[in-house]
Amino acid sequence: MGSKLISLLLLFLPLLTVTILSGAEQAFASNETLVVNGRNSTATSGHGGKSSLRGKKQRGGCNLFQGRWVFDPSYPFYDSSTCPFIDGEFDCLKFGRPDKQFLKYSWQPESCTIPRFDGAAFLRKYRGKRVMFVGDSLSLNMWESLGCMIHASVPNAKTTFLKRTPLSSLTFQEYGVTLYLYRTPYIVDISKESVGRVLNLGAIDGGANAWKNMDVLVFNSWHWWTHKGQSQGWDYVRDGSSLTRDTNRLDAYYKGLSTWARWVDQNVDTTKTRVFFQGISPTHYEGREWNEPRKTCNGQMQPLGGSSYPSGQPPSAGVVSKVLSSMRKPVFLLDITTLSQLRKDAHPSTYSGDGGTDCSHWCLPGLPDTWNQLLYAALSM
């Protein structure tokens, strides 16, 4: 394993500029309506070198994801009231969250100090480049967080904010840096067949053209694989010639993620594109996981202490590791699971504006800012 860790140092070669028109940019070439407002313009549509080890977590002897949360009065990175990119469902202060201590924690790895995020430096380094988040609403959480973090550094920069389904973008015009979001909860395709909506575990054609020719790709999927009933996104599951009403969700996730892995191996030039997988984002509906069996995330006001979560990592995290370890192309695992499990205090809970209790997503400012700081560290170190 030691030799494999050394070999993945090749993953962090500088990005090369891609000059051809990306699939995402082609997708934006039609059906746009821009409303210019001051220095920001917004558009919305009617729809809401090779390595032998994959899933690398370390860089230069530092495991970015093993550590603890410490109180830090210099946080947060931005004020939600001054960031124009936050969805209401993540704006906990807007919807009356009274405590603000959850904003004042920074992640401290055990063996190193990670660089503080610098949005202006990010824009200079990635001038003319494209970063894309691909996945579900946790990708949305992270995409909006990064936009706000950069905006806080360059508040007067001209931006173009295009929001639609499935593809949205935020461009910092003077720098030519674009942050894309491609919403696809399963990554693999949902197709319409005579029986209804079919989750096709072996097909990934729906959005894959839009993902090509990016400089940085950050993939994420798991949240929707567990949904049942009215919130389930499909009616049947197709696995080759087999069509079933349901299946073991972990098995299906493994097969779907394996289809994604084959797509990366066959279609991504990792000398030009850095590929990341955003690890499993946990929920906090079951207090028994952290030894408070009658609790949820509601009313939680501080992280768990220490560096481990009482119930351990979820089985889905093992699926991610297994798939990444089988890939030919280098993919960096943003292993956010444990550090996020410790943040039972960081969810919107009852402050998301919809009247429910949300222990799945995360307040902004908040935990996704740390995810982006770790992404920044991985790109910079």
Query: Beta strand pairing status for 105-109 and 130-135?
Result: unpaired
Q: Which of 80, 189, 361, 369 is catalytic?
A: 361
Q: Which of 136, 335, 358, 369 is catalytic?
A: 358
CA dist., res. 83 & res. 141, Å (int): 14
CA dist., res. 15 & res. 359, Å (int): 36
Q: Which of 22, 137, 145, 168 is catalytic?
A: 137
Question: Which residues lie closer than 8 Å to 157 by C-beta, 6 or more apart?
Answer: 39, 123, 151, 172, 173, 174, 175
For this structure, is 258 an active site residue?
A: no
Cα-flanking dihedrals φ and ψ of residue 249, to 5°? -70, -35
For this structure, is 358 an active site residue?
A: yes
SS3 51: coil
For this structure, is 361 an active site residue?
A: yes
In DSSP terms, 225 is beta-bridged to none
**Cis ω for the linkage preceding 115 (within 30 of 0):** no
Q: What is the DSSP string of 202-263?
A: T--TTTHHHHTT-SEEEE---GGGG--GGG-S-SEEEETTEEES---HHHHHHHHHHHHHHH
Catalytic residues: 137, 358, 361
